[in-house]
Amino acid sequence: MTAPLLDVAGLRVAYPGRGFRARPVEVLHGVSLTVGEGETLGVVGESGSGKTTIGRAVLGLVKPSGGRVRFQGRDVTHASARERRALARDLQVVFQDPYGSLNPALTVGDILSEPLVVQGVSPRDARARVRALLDQVGLPANAPERLPREFSGGQRQRVAIARALAPEPRLIVCDEPVSALDLSTQARVLDLFVDIQRRTGVAYLFVSHDLAVVRHVSHRVSVVYRGDIVETGPAGAVTSEPEHPYTRRLLLAAPVADPDEQARRRAERRRLQDTATGQGARA
């Protein structure tokens, strides 16, 4: 079998506790997952579950206290800053906030060409690559001369996606990339992610709190609950017929258009929550 593009095994991450001499708080308790070439793994969980920390550990933005992260067969768990810069060609990120992730003082052309020039691409070739990237994400031809503030939220996220695609990476970590957008814009951006993957073969580690979002883009889904992965499987199965009670609660939390069905879901979710709370108290 071909080795996975990304292989996370027994990952543990602890953050400093609050207060003097407070003990560290472990937020990941030995998480393991893989992402194959050209695959999307959706990582889903509520706020505080630890899902975003997984992505940050893969990117080297937090230091693991245990376990291992391998990328392209290479152990990058404790890669140095120089090694991380070398990894940037193949490992990129799209952050949650399209408003805060782009430098407001630079034009879109400068934002996109900067990583290419750093890699040694000539300014002329970088400009040509920028035009191709903007066309790829569906932005107008005059976008390179404009500032980020001149675009809508959805368009800014398209700029962020283009920036991540610029070095032609093999894996992009997507950290809640559509949660700051309205529903209609979310759908268009998700379709863009799917289309780009189909055309380029890039893999995604797609972090979200929304099962409906990960269902749309993912091949497989891992569900994170209080620092542990409690369920992993094909996206269709996990997001429609989940086995774990926590995943079922996430599914029931998704809104539906039918008021009667919404009321039934709300009641069922409360029942599952009360059951979980009672089991926790007895334990």
- State whether 154 and 176 are in the same domain: no
Instruction: Based on the fold, state whether residues 12 and 78 are members of the same structural domain.
Output: yes
User: Could you tell me the end-to-end alpha-carbon distance of the chain, in angstroms, rounded to an integer?
Assistant: 41
Based on the domain organization, do 229 and 119 belong to the same domain?
A: no
Q: Is 88 a residue whose pLDDT tops 80?
A: yes
pLDDT for 263: 66
Q: What CA–CA distance (Å, rounded) separates 249 from 269?
A: 5
pLDDT for the residue 148 = 93
Q: What is the pLDDT of residue 281?
A: 46
| Residue 173 lies inside a defined structural domain of this protein | yes
Both 108 and 86 in one domain: the answer is no
Q: What is the CATH number of the domain that holds 42?
A: 3.40.50.300
Q: Region 263-282: what's the mean pLDDT?
A: 61
Instruction: Supply the mean pLDDT for the chain.
Output: 89
Separation between Cα atoms, residue 260 and residue 179, nearest integer Å: 26
pLDDT band at 252 (very low <50, low <70, confident <90, very high): confident
Judge if 79 and 173 occupy the same domain: yes
Examine residue 201 and state whether it is found in any structural domain, yes or no.
Answer: yes
Is the per-residue pLDDT at 282 higher than 50? no
Q: Is residue 26 in some structural domain?
A: yes
pLDDT for 125 beyond 80? yes
Does residue 97 lie within any of the structural domains? no
Structure-token match 């940050």, residue found: 56
pTM of the shown model:
0.88
Res 142: pLDDT: 92
Q: Is the predicted pLDDT of residue 260 greater than 70, yes or no?
A: no
Tokens of 279: 């089991």
Which domain covers residue 271, as residue numbers? 244-283
Residue 8: both structure tokens together = 């996370």
95 in a structural domain: no
**Which pair of tokens denotes residue 172?**
């992009």
Task: Let me know whether 142 and 43 are in one domain.
Answer: no
Tell me, yes or no, whether 142 and 78 share the same domain.
no
Does one domain contain both 36 and 153? no
203 and 217 housed in the same domain: yes
| Per-residue pLDDT tens digits for 18-71 | 877 888 899 999 999 999 999 999 999 999 999 999 999 999 999 999 999 999
Residue 96 counted as domain residue = no
Same domain, 84 and 158: no
* Overall domain count for the chain: 3
Confidence of residue 250 (pLDDT cuts 50, 70, 90): confident
195 in a structural domain:
yes
Q: How far apart are CA 103 and CA 101, in angstroms?
A: 7
